[in-house]
Amino acid sequence: MRYLTDYRGQLRSAPETLLEGCRSVVCVGLVYNGPQPYSTEFTDSARAWISRYAWGDDYHGVMRRMLENLAARLLEFEDFRWRACVDTAPLLERSLAHSAGLGWIGRNTCLINQRAGSWFFLGELLTTLDLPPGSPAPDRCGTCRRCIDSCPTQAIVPSPHGGWELDARLCISYFTIELRGASPEANRDSIGNNVFGCDICQDVCPWNRRSPQTETAAFLPREEPAPPLERLAALSEAGFRSLFRGTPVTRARYAGFLRNVAVAMGNSQLPKFRDPLEKLAASEDALVAEHARWALARLNLAPRV
């Protein structure tokens, strides 16, 4: 993820480079939580887990339209210049949201709100308005270590600057979304049945016990949140694009998604996945084929000759 450390890294703390004359940033959060069980309550190894935020429409477009509507409302009272940002511009969103008082940055590196938990997206409206600043929220994690102790890959590590940070090289969300090559073999068994993202460090957070549910229809699940692995393994590339069109899942790309499905099948301990895994092992895509062979070996199933 070089885009986090290349020349754009120096721009993240300077909103004025994104909007000339920027004086204030309006930070917003939009809840996406639903009534469905958490991944930590899910035990069906024949089904895949897709991260909660990706069940509905891609949040980038949804929030951008809302921010544009907010700007239009504000323009009714005063003329100003603005720019809407939703996880696409080089901007330190969590730090800004923390400074604005939306919450504190927890040990799992998520922004946590005392009433809303952490199941919400962040968006920003950069403006030339001179608005009074918010007050940073106090850290309320206390001595809790549930996210640290529950992470299957131990990706939440001590920071050299004090506190905790997320090592993306160990994070299941990185393995299943951003990584373009092979997932590290030493970590594959810890990925479990996650085929896109991971929610565990949020699922176990006490502040999410009473999280509100979304009122945004676009974030409601289009499909069953935990689809059968066998169904996903059988998707053609066109079928993948059709099933997940307009959702964040397409970011994993087709080959990466099948790679994840193969790993989840290998972790299922279910011999019934032999046939779909053998089909994936015969794939022309070397990445998919290698992970399918690994899964067959993990199930103690030698490929049929």
Task: Report which of 48, 38, 42, 53 is spatially closest to residue 214, judged by C-alpha positions.
Answer: 53
Question: 286-298 and 254-268 helices cross at what angle (nearest 10)?
Answer: 10
Residue in 167, 149, 193, 147 with CA at minimum distance from that of residue 47:
193
3-state secondary structure of 206: helix
Strand, coil or helix: what is 292? helix
Rounded CA-CA distance 14/8 in Å is 10
Alpha-carbon distance of 244 to 239, in angstroms, equals 8
- 300 CB-near residues (< 8 Å, 6+ apart): none
User: Closest by alpha carbon to 273, among 46, 44, 42?
Assistant: 46
Asked if residues 80 and 172 have their Cβ atoms less than 8 Å apart, the reply is no
Cβ 208 vs Cβ 202: under 8 Å = yes
At residue 164, φ and ψ (nearest 5 deg) are: -135, 155
Active site residue 285: no
- Set 87, 139, 167, 285: catalytic member: 87
CB atoms near residue 19 (< 10 Å):
18
Which amino acids are annotated catalytic? Answer: 87
